[in-house]
C-alpha cells in the first residue's frame, strides 16, 4: 500500500477517467466528448503552414523557448486581444500548455490548502479537479440562462468570515450549461465584486464560437469593461479554435500576477512547446485563422440545429433546455425525480452516452441534468442518438409514474 497524497483522491478525476474509458467503446453514439470532431481539424492548412516555414524557424521549433511564450505568438495574441478590447498595453500575456495549465498556475499562485474558491454551479469539471488538487474548499453558486445568480453570490460573500481567493467563471458558451452571460449580469457581477478583493478568473475558452456573426458583441470579455476596480485574470485557449492537441492556452493578467505566474510555469515545464507555438503563430499570421473560425462556426451551428430539432421532436414533455448561441454544449434538465446517473447505464447498454450532471457539480451531488456535446458528433448520427436517449428517459419517467401511482393507491 502506498501513501498517496490527498490530491490524487479527487472524486471528479475518477469520474472523468471512467467516462474516457467508456466513450472509447466502438459503435457508441457519444454526446460525451467535449472536443472537436477529428474531421474538422485544419490538417491541410497546417501541412501548408509547416511546409512554408523557413529552415531557420523549423530549427527553432525543436528548441526550448522563453517561459513567457514565443514572442511573435505573444505579439499575434496581443493584436487579437486588442480587437476584443482587452488591456494588452498594461497587462501581460503568459502562454501556457493549454488553458487548464493557466487555471492550475493561478490556483497555485493564490490558493493554500483550505482556502475558499467560488465557482459556478455547474462548473467546468477540469477546473474543479484542479481546485480540489490544491486542497481548496469550493463553493458553487447557481447559474441561470443569463449567468451567475447575483443575490446568491452576494449572500455567500457576506456569509464568509475570510474572503474567497477568487471567483472562477466561464461567461461565454458555458461548459456544461451552454449559456452566455447577458451584459446586465456581467455588470452586476462587477458591482458585487467591486471593493471585495476577490479576483475574477474569466475563462473564455469558447468566446470565438458564436453561431451568428451578429452575436459577436455579446461575447465581449468582462475584462474589457471599464469603470471598475476588480482584478480580472483572463484565460483563453487554442483547443477549440485550432485543436486540443496543440496544448496551447494563455492568460492575461496584471504584471504583478504575471511575474509570479511565470515563475510557477518555469518550475512546471520551463516553457510551452515551441513547435506548437510557431505553427499556431504561422497559422494566424498566414491568415488561416479567421476563415477556419468561420468554417467552425458554420459546422457547429449546423450540429446544434440538428440537435435542437431532434430534441424538440423526440424528447418527452418535462425535459427542459436553453438553446445555445455558440460553443459545444446542450444542458438538459431532467424532471425532479430522475437522476442522470440512473439513466447512464441504460443509455450505455442502448449505445448512447452523455456526461452526467453530477460530474460538473463542485459538491458531486446535484444530478438533475445531462450534458450533450454536439461538437464531436457526425451530423447524421445526432437524431439517432437523441431517439435512443429519449426512449430511455421516457421509460424511466413511466417507471416512476407507475411507482408513484401504486404508492398512492
Ligand atoms: C471552460 C473550459 N476551460 C478550459 C478548458 C481547457 O482547455 P485546454 O485544452 O486549453 O486546456 C476547457 C476544455 O474543455 C473548457 O471547457
> Is residue 239 in contact with ligand 1, taking CB distance under 6 Å?
yes
Is the CB of 207 within 6 Å of ligand 1?
Answer: no
The domain ranges of the chain are 12-41+291-397, 43-285
Q: Is 34 close to ligand 1, i.e. is its CB under 6 Å away?
A: yes
- Reported as a pLDDT band with limits 50, 70 and 90, residue 236 is very high
**The CATH fold of domain 12-41+291-397:** 3.90.1150
**Whether residue 244 has its Cβ less than 6 Å from ligand 1:** yes
d(CA 180, CA 173): 5
Which stretches within 247-314 are classed as H helix?
255-269, 274-285, 289-314
Instruction: Give the lowest-confidence range in 8-17, 109-118, 302-311.
Output: 8-17
Peptide bond preceding 9 in cis form (omega within 30 of 0):
no
Check pocket membership of 193 for ligand 1, CB cut-off 6 A: no
Mind giving me the DSSP string for 93-155? Answer: EEEESSHHHHHHHHHHHH--TT-EEEEEES--HHHHHHHHHTTPEEEEEEEETTEE-HHHHHH
Residue 399 has pLDDT above 90, yes or no: no
Does pLDDT of 344 surpass 70? yes
- In the numeric block, which cell numbers belong to residue 356? 452526467
Instruction: Say how far apart CA 344 and CA 259 lie, in whole Å.
Output: 45
* pTM for this prediction: 0.96
- Return the pLDDT at 4: 83
Can you tell me which atom of ligand 1 is nearest the CA of 101?
11
> Is any atom of ligand 1 closer than 6 Å to the C-beta of 280?
no
Contact by Cβ (8 Å): 396, 342: yes
> How many CB atoms are located within 10 Å of the residue 409 CB?
5
**Considering the chain, what percentage of its residues have pLDDT values greater than 70?**
97
Determine the distance separating the centroid of ligand 1 and the alpha carbon of 359, expressed in angstroms: 15
107-120 per-residue burial string, b: 16 or more CB within 10 A, e: under 16: bbbbbeeebbbbbb
| pLDDT exceeds 80 at position 20 | no
Distance 62 CA to ligand 1 centre (A): 26
- The top-level CATH class assigned to 43-285 is alpha beta
Beta sheet of 355-356, edge-to-edge order: 329-333, 369-373, 355-356
DSSP conformation class of 288: -
Ligand 1 contacts CB of residue 175 (under 6 A): yes
Give the residue, out of 77, 173, 175, with the most ligand 1 atoms within 8 A of its beta carbon, to mutate for a pocket test: 175
Contacts of 303 (CB under 8 A, 6+ apart): 374, 375, 377, 379, 382
* 163 Cα to the center of ligand 1, angstroms: 26
Q: 271 Cβ partners below 8 Å, 6+ apart?
A: 64, 65, 66, 67, 69, 265
Question: Does 100 sit in the ligand 1 pocket, CB within 6 Å?
Answer: yes
Q: Determine if ligand 1 sits within 6 Å of the CB of residue 168.
A: no
> Do 18 and 374 meet the contact criterion of CB atoms below 8 Å apart?
no
Residues paired with residue 400 on neighbouring β-strands, in sequence order: none
Amino acid at each position: 500500500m502506498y501513501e498517496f497524497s490527498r490530491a490524487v483522491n479527487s472524486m471528479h478525476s475518477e469520474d472523468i477517467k471512467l467516462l474516457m474509458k467508456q466513450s472509447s467503446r466502438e459503435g457508441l453514439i457519444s454526446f460525451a466528448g467535449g472536443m472537436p470532431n477529428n474531421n474538422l481539424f485544419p490538417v491541410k492548412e497546417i501541412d501548408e503552414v509547416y511546409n512554408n516555414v523557413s529552415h531557420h524557424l523549423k530549427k527553432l521549433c525543436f528548441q526550448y523557448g522563453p517561459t513567457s511564450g514565443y514572442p511573435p505568438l505573444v505579439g499575434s495574441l496581443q493584436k487579437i486581444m486588442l480587437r476584443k478590447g482587452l488591456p494588452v498595453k498594461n497587462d501581460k500575456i503568459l502562454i501556457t500548455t493549454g488553458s487548464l495549465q493557466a487555471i492550475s498556475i493561478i490556483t497555485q499562485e493564490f490558493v493554500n490548502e483550505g482556502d475558499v474558491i467560488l465557482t459556478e454551479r455547474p462548473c467546468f469539471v477540469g477546473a474543479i479537479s484542479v481546485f480540489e488538487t490544491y486542497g481548496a474548499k469550493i463553493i458553487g453558486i447557481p447559474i441561470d440562462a443569463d449567468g451567475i445568480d447575483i443575490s446568491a453570490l452576494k449572500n455567500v460573500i457576506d456569509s464568509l468570515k475570510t474572503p474567497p481567493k477568487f471567483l472562477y467563471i466561464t461567461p461565454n458558451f458555458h461548459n456544461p450549461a451552454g449559456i452566455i452571460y447577458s451584459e446586465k449580469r456581467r455588470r452586476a457581477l462587477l458591482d458585487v465584486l467591486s471593493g471585495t478583493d476577490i479576483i475574477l478568473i474569466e475563462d473564455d475558452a469558447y468566446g470565438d464560437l458564436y453561431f451568428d456573426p451578429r452575436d459577436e458583441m455579446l461575447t465581449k470579455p468582462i475584462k474589457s469593461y471599464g469603470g471598475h476596480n476588480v482584478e480580472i485574470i483572463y484565460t483563453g485557449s487554442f483547443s477549440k479554435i485550432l485543436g486540443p492537441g496543440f496544448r496551447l492556452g494563455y492568460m492575461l493578467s496584471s504584471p504583478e500576477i504575471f511575474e509570479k505566474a511565470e515563475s510557477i510555469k518555469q518550475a512546471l515545464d520551463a516553457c510551452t512547446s515551441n513547435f506548437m507555438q510557431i505553427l499556431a503563430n504561422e497559422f494566424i499570421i498566414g491568415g488561416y485563422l479567421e476563415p477556419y473560425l468561420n468554417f467552425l462556426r458554420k459546422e457547429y451551428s449546423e450540429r446544434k440545429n440538428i440537435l435542437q430539432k431532434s430534441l424538440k421532436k423526440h424528447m418527452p414533455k418535462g425535459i427542459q433546455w436553453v438553446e445555445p448561441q455558440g460553443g459545444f454544449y446542450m444542458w438538459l434538465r431532467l424532471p425532479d425525480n430522475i437522476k442522470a446517473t440512473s439513466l447512464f447505464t441504460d443509455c450505455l447498454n442502448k449505445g448512447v452516452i452523455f456526461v452526467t450532471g453530477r460530474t460538473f457539480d463542485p459538491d458531486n451531488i446535484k444530478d438533475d441534468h445531462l450534458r450533450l456535446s454536439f461538437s464531436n458528433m457526425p451530423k447524421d448520427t445526432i437524431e439517432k442518438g437523441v431517439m435512443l436517449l429519449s426512449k430511455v428517459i421516457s421509460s424511466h419517467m413511466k417507471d416512476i409514474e407507475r411507482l408513484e401511482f401504486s404508492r398512492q393507491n
